[in-house]
Structure 1
Amino acid sequence: MLIKEHVALIEKFYTAFNEKDAKTMTACYHKDLEFEDPAFGVLDYDQASAMWAMLLSGNNDIEIAFKNAWSENEFGGVDWEAKYPFSKTGRKVHNVIDAKFEFKDGLIVGHRDYFDFYKWSRMALGLPGILLGWTDYLHKKVQTQCASMLDKYMTENR
């Protein structure tokens, strides 16, 4: 069974993302949200909300495209892409992501982004990504750096 409201919510989220509107993106999330992706790991509602605000506040060159939004019962998904210069290196990244969702009370309560971390690290980091992007070491290092950046952003923007 296709849930049109859930598809509309996914489309609202990514339209807001493309328009760099973190406030509208966050309004699509349930307070019990659990977000997860390979770079940031697992985040709660406050952390995920701050992550989107942080990513959008510092990157006017990000381009978002999405397609194939779907929903069946309390689950859904979308294919999306992000093109942007990676802030630490200035290298161009074209990340292709498969997002999966869970819904509760008409909002997104689970959001998981899946992408090839090794492919991303090669684009974003260059030689270090080529040499170490397949290792747990680099993956954990990136997650630690992302957590540190997010904590700093949240502290400065309370």
Structure 2
Amino acid sequence: MEKLVTSFYTAFANLDAEAMANCYHKDIVFEDPAFGVLHGEHAKNMWRMLCASQKGKDFIVTFSNIEINENIASAKWEAKYNFSKTRKRVHNKISAQFQFKDGLIIKHVDTFNLHRWASQAFGFKGKLIGGTSFFKKKLQKQTHTLLSQYETKN
């Protein structure tokens, strides 16, 4: 399982969305503060969309502290990039939890401080409202719209 998690993040660092998707079970459930809960192909397409949007840009992913316990794993990872909407530099620190089935990732939950992320991505406005449920709901609506547009085109 450690090799699978390492492969997943190595693929992400290389912006290889197909290799990332190949680490996921067909019934994957993904969750994070920005996208909420995504199932199956939607979760895979989220990574495809994110990787495509970062190609040729100053994007860095690092990972560490992979810990495995039976069919559960955890890892820490960081992403450094310029947020597309504002061009502000973001350094997001994420904790990931994984569950496995049939040798693949069946559940993936990323947690991070959304208020801290919003403060970096949106500046003063993010600092003001980034910790609110209103902001989280609006962000998830926007990310779902972007994902739907991406899926329609591809």
TM-score (ref. length: structure 1):
0.95
> Which residue of the partner structure matches residue 89 of structure 2?
92
Aligned with residue 43 of structure 1, among 33, 38, 45: 38
1:79 Cα deviation after fit: 0.4
Listed as ranges, the gaps of 5+ residues in structure 2 are none
1:71 and 2:72 are equivalent in the alignment: no
Distance in 2 separating the partners of 1:141 and 1:124: 15
Aligned length: 152
Query: Residue 114 of structure 1 aligns to which amino acid in structure 2?
Result: T
Q: Provide Cα deviations, 1:49-96, integer angstroms capped at 9, x if missing partner.
A: 111111111113210000011111110011000000001000000000
Alignment identity in percent? 46
Q: Write out per-residue CA displacement over residues 113-155 of structure 1, whole angstroms, 9 at most, x where no aligned residue.
A: 0000000000001121111011111111111000000000001
Structure 1: 5+ residue runs without aligned partners?
A: 1-5
CA distance in 2, matches of 1:135, 1:67: 30
CA distance in structure 2 between the partners assigned to 1:137 and 1:127 by the alignment = 16
| CA drift at 1:18 | 0.4
Secondary structure, counterpart of 1:58 in structure 2: helix
Backbone CA RMSD of aligned residues: 0.6
